[in-house]
Amino acid sequence: MTIIFSKRNDTLFLRNIWKDIDNINVVEVGSSDDYDKVEGALLAEQDTIILCGHGSSNGLLYPNFEGEIIHRDNLDLYKDKIIIGIWCYASDFAIKYNLHGFFSSMFISDVDEAYDNNCYNKLEDIEKENILFAQRLNRLIKDKVDMEKWSDMLETEANYGIDFVKFNYDGLIAL
């Protein structure tokens, strides 16, 4: 398993996805200078890739938003692998390019994103709730649960009384 992590302060909770998982290759991306490491890791991986950070329907962004690390032009490096894509609009990207795995839609990771998506309650809990999401996803990966069951299983544990939690979990999809 390979992890490509576009690291920013508001995405550090994502590290909980792969915490204590054996035999993984983690590439933490700091800038476009890291692209050769990303390309090498994608080429070497034969099975599952976790792609996470900030992004758009055009792909996974570099931490400073200077362009995409994962995009249509490097599709041949990961198209035939299982992808776990946790970034804003990863599901749109996956549908557009016929990728297979588990993906988030718009995913609220900070207060500004919450306001932009009309979510207003318990915003002080964004980090805590997102850590819980990542820990739950970690458990599903470790337990080798079929991805088709992930959304339902995650939703049963989510606090749907918090609007941004409902928003985030409602956007999860297995393809």
- Beta bridge pairs of residue 174: 102
Q: How far is CA 14 from CA 70, 84, 98, 103, 157, in A?
A: 17, 12, 24, 14, 18
Look at residue 76 and tell me if it is in a domain. yes
Q: Which structural domain range is residue 122 located in?
A: 2-170
SS3 call for 82: strand
d(CA 19, CA 56): 25
Helical (H) or strand (E) element with 101? strand 100-103
What local confidence, expressed as pLDDT, does residue 140 receive?
98
Count how many domains the chain has: 1
Look at residue 163 and tell me if it is in a domain. yes
Look at residue 154 and tell me if it is in a domain. yes
Look at residue 175 and tell me if it is in a domain. no
Residue with tokens 């996956």: 94
Cβ atoms of 138 and 16 closer than 8 Å: yes
Look at residue 122 and tell me if it is in a domain. yes
Describe the crossing of helices 126-142 and 163-170 by its angle, rounded to 10 degrees. Answer: 30
Look at residue 72 and tell me if it is in a domain. yes
What local confidence, expressed as pLDDT, does residue 25 receive?
96
Q: pLDDT 10s digit of each residue in the chain, 175 long?
A: 999 999 999 999 999 999 999 999 999 999 889 999 999 999 999 999 999 999 999 999 999 998 999 999 999 999 999 999 999 999 999 999 999 999 999 999 999 999 999 999 999 999 999 999 999 999 999 999 999 999 999 999 999 999 999 999 999 999 9
Q: 150, 45, 164, 43: which is closest to 103 by C-alpha? A: 150
d(CA 118, CA 96): 26
Cβ atoms of 29 and 53 closer than 8 Å: yes
SS3 call for 77: helix
Half-sphere exposure of 169 (CA within 13 A, CB side): 25
CATH code of the domain containing 61: 3.40.50
What is the pTM assigned to this prediction? 0.95
d(CA 50, CA 99): 13
Task: Burial-class residue 126 by CB neighbours within 10 Å (0-12, 13-18, 19+).
Answer: buried
Look at residue 102 and tell me if it is in a domain. yes
Look at residue 140 and tell me if it is in a domain. yes
